[in-house]
């Protein structure tokens, strides 16, 4: 293991949570949205959940041709516009609403659309690996939407709250060799894992962790100067350090130097963005801090979340408690 990953952040982080974090604390209800956004969210969730429900129904005898209507839908201009317009024509007094809409527009939805576009435009319905990826992205996004909107599917959310162990292997399997297809070309995620064990104890907690991981990787994907993003998972005592790194193009390095200098931690305070909306990493800081029962400002100041530019490479990290 490269010593760089150990030296990135403090190695004596404490967990102040009296019990295991259950993934709650960052949700709203459907009535909190405007009528227009609520209608889009309901339709989007139904389409996403249909994909994984169909997979579960087929079990060990999948017929991939049955996913073609869903893939055509998610690769359509109408779906792209619908997701893009979430929250665009509504005003919300609470920042939490914009953060949830941000995670729904991004999250696994971005990757689902990218995957569907590749399958549809390149007629790769025969590619079993791509089809399975589309299905499991739908699973992740449906869970994240239930995590964020507690009454969008109360019955299934209740199941998400039940005890269920998730192994780090689930994350390695999901992310290693994962491909994003962008206008710049294909970007692949490579995983280095130095931990063997479990990371979450229920689907709701797993969804909270997913919201953080997808935010980091979507961010890296936007700014990657090469075709590889690296995710490294390593144990620091009873805490897991997750590091997402990517090469940065010269003009983005210049932007970072001009706007944050040597203090990349300020990215987690929100409001600083290079073509985005400046709330994704701030949302991550809030979720991570809740998992350790500390304030977001403490999580930023003490290195529970953070970022650093070394040469032309950007390193973003966060921590999550391993399951004991």
25, part of any domain = no
Q: Does residue 285 share a domain with residue 167?
A: yes
Q: Does residue 168 share a domain with residue 152?
A: no
Q: Which of 166, 237, 245 is nearest to 208 (CA)?
A: 166
Q: Of 105, 136, 158, which residue sits at a domain end?
A: 158
Q: Does residue 270 share a domain with residue 222?
A: yes
219, part of any domain = yes
3, part of any domain = no
CB–CB of 163/201 below 8 Å?
yes
Q: Does residue 233 share a domain with residue 139?
A: no
Distance CA 289, CA 296 (A): 5
**Cα end-to-end distance, the chain, whole Å:** 23
Q: Does residue 304 share a domain with residue 275?
A: yes
Q: Does residue 313 share a domain with residue 247?
A: yes
**Domain residues for 249?**
163-321
Q: Which of 19, 23, 18, 13 is nearest to 290 (CA)?
A: 23
Q: Give the CATH number of the domain where residue 174 resides.
A: 3.30.565.10
Q: Along the 324 residues of the chain, how does pLDDT read in single tens digits?
A: 789 999 999 999 988 888 899 999 999 999 999 999 999 999 999 999 999 999 999 877 888 889 999 999 999 999 999 999 999 889 998 888 989 999 999 999 999 999 999 999 999 999 999 999 999 999 999 999 999 999 999 999 999 999 999 999 999 999 999 998 887 789 999 999 999 999 999 999 999 999 999 999 999 998 899 999 999 999 999 999 999 999 999 888 888 888 777 777 888 887 666 655 668 899 999 999 999 999 999 999 999 999 999 999 999 999 999 998
DSSP 304: S
Phi, psi dihedral angles at 44 (to 5 degrees)? -60, -45
CB–CB of 201/159 below 8 Å?
no
Distance CA 6, CA 2 (A): 8
Q: Does residue 313 share a domain with residue 169?
A: yes
Phi, psi dihedral angles at 127 (to 5 degrees)? -80, 100
Q: Does residue 93 share a domain with residue 125?
A: yes
Number of structural domains in the chain: 2
Q: CA triplet 115, 316, 139: central angle to 5 degrees?
A: 30
């Amino acid at each position: 293991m490269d010593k760089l990953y150990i030296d990135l952040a403090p190695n004596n982080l404490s967990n102040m949570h009296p019990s295991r974090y259950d993934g709650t604390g960052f949700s709203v209800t459907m009535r909190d949205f405007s009528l227009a956004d609520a209608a889009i969210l309901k339709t989007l969730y139904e389409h996403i959940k249909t994909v994984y429900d169909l997979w579960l129904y087929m079990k060990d005898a999948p017929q991939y041709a049955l996913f073609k209507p869903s893939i055509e839908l998610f690769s359509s201009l109408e779906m792209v516009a619908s997701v893009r317009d979430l929250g665009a024509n509504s005003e919300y007094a609470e920042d939490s609403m914009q953060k949830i809409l941000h995670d729904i527009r991004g999250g696994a939805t971005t990757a689902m659309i990218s995957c569907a576009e590749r399958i549809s435009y390149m007629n790769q319905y025969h590619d079993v690996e791509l089809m399975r990826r589309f299905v499991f992205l739908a699973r992740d996004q449906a869970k994240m939407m239930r995590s964020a909107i507690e009454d969008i599917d109360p019955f299934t959310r209740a199941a998400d709250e039940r005890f269920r162990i998730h192994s780090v292997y689930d994350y390695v399997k999901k992310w290693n060799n994962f491909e994003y297809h962008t206008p710049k070309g294909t970007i692949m995620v490579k995983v280095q894992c130095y931990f063997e064990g479990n990371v979450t104890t229920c689907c709701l907690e797993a969804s909270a962790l997913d919201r953080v991981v997808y935010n980091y990787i979507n961010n890296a994907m936007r700014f990657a100067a090469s075709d590889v993003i690296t995710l490294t998972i390593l144990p620091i005592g009873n805490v897991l350090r997750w590091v997402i790194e990517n090469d940065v193009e010269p003009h983005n390095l210049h932007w970072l130097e001009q706007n944050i200098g040597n203090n990349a931690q300020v990215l987690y305070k929100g409001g600083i963005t290079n073509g985005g909306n400046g709330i994704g990493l701030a949302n991550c800081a809030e979720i991570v801090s809740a998992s350790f029962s500390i304030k977001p400002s403490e999580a930023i100041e003490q290195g529970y979340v953070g970022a650093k530019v070394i040469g032309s490479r950007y390193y973003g990290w966060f921590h999550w408690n391993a399951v004991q």
